[in-house]
Structure 1
């Protein structure tokens, strides 16, 4: 009987999923294959970082679409993880006029679908930006509905939750959607099917048991629907207003707005390096400070659109420096540049950027994890990364679920 879970990590970046899972239980989560490829860049900094830290796995630096089905069939995947881009998931009937469908070229979710089809892992854990629930703007909820219908057709139950990392003991206010899909033939799935979906969402589900929420639905925001059976119909016509939490079973959707129970954020000051360690290059010059006064200040600017229409672009003011007593704001890939979104902190009367090490700490990576690359790319990779503390918590829940699966299999073997 297997003593660990075979993990495959897609769109791996610098290894956020793997760092979190190995924090949860390095012996249980055995990542055997990973893929990281940045098509628009000659230098593959994220892959080089991943490959250095994780030499025990087969690490692929190629277009995932070129990796053969047999590769995934042979891996015997238990858990598939990945943070994939938010793209246009619209689909169309195949040119042969048969019942097959085809999605837009280059959309990486279809690679996830392909891999699941040929390997059928027990569990799938994915991460994305929270706007996925509302895209596209002209047909709200369509893209997420296509994803849910895809999982339905592949034989999975799906739970999702938009999580603000700061609500669960981290120093960054980073909101991301996490999607957990599990094979409906599992004993865990059968236990869930015997529960009310409201109980799954508020108490007993994957996310509710990992990240506790209040038992009252926020402002009674609760919706239910049933997905059309034809995914083409979903692509062409279906829209739906999803809330931050939800579950899909056999195409039936129940979605609610949950609130974190007893949030306990970590203030920014707790992840800072000692000032004696800070290189002078991270402090702001007077000229740069003046630029930030403008960038962070309120403004109204007349602009002209492509068709010649004049309009006023307005932007509200924000604090000239980030509070050290609050969690940091969401890091973007532009962190560390002269950009309105960059964190600016003031220590002993001097203003500076966060250092790459401090950005790694905001995401729960070990210090100097990304020291394999230059500072600009270190900031970029942390702006793209997920908060590994959350994955650690989810990994522990997956461990509990799989322990019960293993126990059930052992009991069946004994009975036989």
Structure 2
């Protein structure tokens, strides 16, 4: 039995990936950034071609044997049209609803079962507030939950999933979250929230997020108890099969066979094609810092503060804040630090653990930290890919949520 969903503020599709893996049917993905929309379309091609026994056509694209236009020409327009490249706004909602209504009609879907999405988190992020001159006061992104509520009121899904950073709970003294809960209640939904950590669901990353789950009044749904996974792997299990590359280099041939973790998590399968193992260029001065940071960790698990570096390497005037701006992704730890969108600007917070390579991590390594499978292709180039990955919901955690919600939906369906 398949259930339908809409994904708004979809990003690169990490949340959506978890639902599609569990057999849900995507009606629409709404996303403002063009590059992320191309990523979503390419992923829709993957699912369509896989379903129709034509996965080799998709692999030909990964091998660069066909162009993106040629790939897109292989799937029906209705598949690609499910990705809507729009910036959600109050004045644009009627037109957006018209497009979603048309998609439902074309697909023969009468009702939406689930709404998922997480508005951009900078407005609620502690780091975002710290970097903002106004503490994000007056930023329109503070109120995007109101648009989420409008979609709830329009399509009346049985369940919704709303994802954001823990700072959502305390932003502006908690008033945004209080207002959000009241609006959702008036829209006819009960809700509960929990702070979940992706490391408990098979993701090798310490990533805490608020997951709000709501259900329509008159239904018997509850906040599901997710299946937690025993953590028995290390970050090295994410990287050890990838080839050596220098800063600025790209090499897309696996070095060796997959690790047990990569196989068990589904991140790498036997017939995968490696893509996007591409590292950004690094200044030689930064590489000197990287080597010191890596050596300090490898020889005693010490995190070097910026003020502990040799004076000739310290070029920042700020010596009081963000002192951990250079950080190795430690291979001997059971999880990496939280992946953030700032990786699109520089990779100092995500230094590869191999001192010989002395570089920041590649696009594929970042994607693996977020638990994206190797067959997931990010469009738009290196910087755009890093941004999409940093903002994403880890697919493995999303899948854990989708699985348990599906059990409740199926039980409700069975009970009539």
TM-score range, shorter chain: 0.5 to 0.7
Q: 2:379 aligns with which of 372, 377, 381?
A: 372
Secondary structure at the counterpart of residue 32 of structure 1: strand
Distance between the aligned counterparts of 2:288 and 2:188, measured in 1? 57
- The verdict on how the C-alpha distance between 1:73 and 1:377 changes in structure 2, with shifts beyond 3 A counting, is closer
Residues 367 and 389, structure 2, Cα contact 8 Å, conserved in 1? yes
The Cα offsets for residues 172-222 of structure 1, whole Å up to 9 and x where unpaired, read as: 111111111111211x24xx5xxxxxxxxxxxx41xx1156xxxxxxxxxx
TM-score (norm 2): 0.66
Residues 1:150 and 2:183 aligned together: yes
Residues 326 and 348, structure 2, Cα contact 8 Å, conserved in 1? no
Secondary structure at the counterpart of residue 343 of structure 1: coil
Offset of 1:67 from its aligned partner?
Answer: 3.8
Residues 1:173 and 2:163 aligned together: no
- The verdict on how the C-alpha distance between 1:12 and 1:352 changes in structure 2, with shifts beyond 3 A counting, is same
Distance between the aligned counterparts of 1:288 and 1:104, measured in 2? 34
- The verdict on how the C-alpha distance between 1:152 and 1:366 changes in structure 2, with shifts beyond 3 A counting, is same
Distance between the aligned counterparts of 1:314 and 1:370, measured in 2? 35
Residue in 1 aligned with 2:30? 35
Q: Which moved more, 1:45-54 or 1:273-282?
A: 273-282
Q: 1:63 aligns with which of 87, 93, 114?
A: 87
Secondary structure at the counterpart of residue 364 of structure 1: coil
Residues 1:135 and 2:171 aligned together: yes
Residue in 1 aligned with 2:158? 122
Residues 329 and 343, structure 1, Cα contact 8 Å, conserved in 2? no
Q: Which moved more, 1:371-380 or 1:400-409?
A: 371-380
Offset of 1:278 from its aligned partner?
Answer: 3.4
Whichever of the two has the greater Rg, that structure is 1
Q: 2:42 aligns with which of 40, 48, 52?
A: 52
Residues 1:354 and 2:361 aligned together: yes
Distance between the aligned counterparts of 1:163 and 1:152, measured in 2? 23
Residues 336 and 342, structure 1, Cα contact 8 Å, conserved in 2? no
Residue in 2 aligned with 1:235? none
Residue in 2 aligned with 1:85? 120
Residue in 1 aligned with 2:226? 210
Structure 2: give runs of 5+ residues left out of the alignment. 46-78, 105-110, 125-137, 249-278, 294-302, 309-317
The Cα offsets for residues 339-366 of structure 1, whole Å up to 9 and x where unpaired, read as: 542333225x442222111111112222
Residue in 1 aligned with 2:390? 383
Offset of 1:121 from its aligned partner?
Answer: 0.6
Distance between the aligned counterparts of 2:246 and 2:139, measured in 1? 46
Q: 1:343 aligns with which of 351, 358, 361?
A: 351
Distance between the aligned counterparts of 1:323 and 1:167, measured in 2? 18
Offset of 1:122 from its aligned partner?
Answer: 0.3
Residues 1:329 and 2:337 aligned together: yes
Offset of 1:156 from its aligned partner?
Answer: 1.3
Secondary structure at the counterpart of residue 369 of structure 1: coil
Structure 1: give runs of 5+ residues left out of the alignment. 39-43, 90-102, 193-204, 213-261, 301-310, 410-416
**Richer in helix (by share):** 2
Residue in 2 aligned with 1:250? none
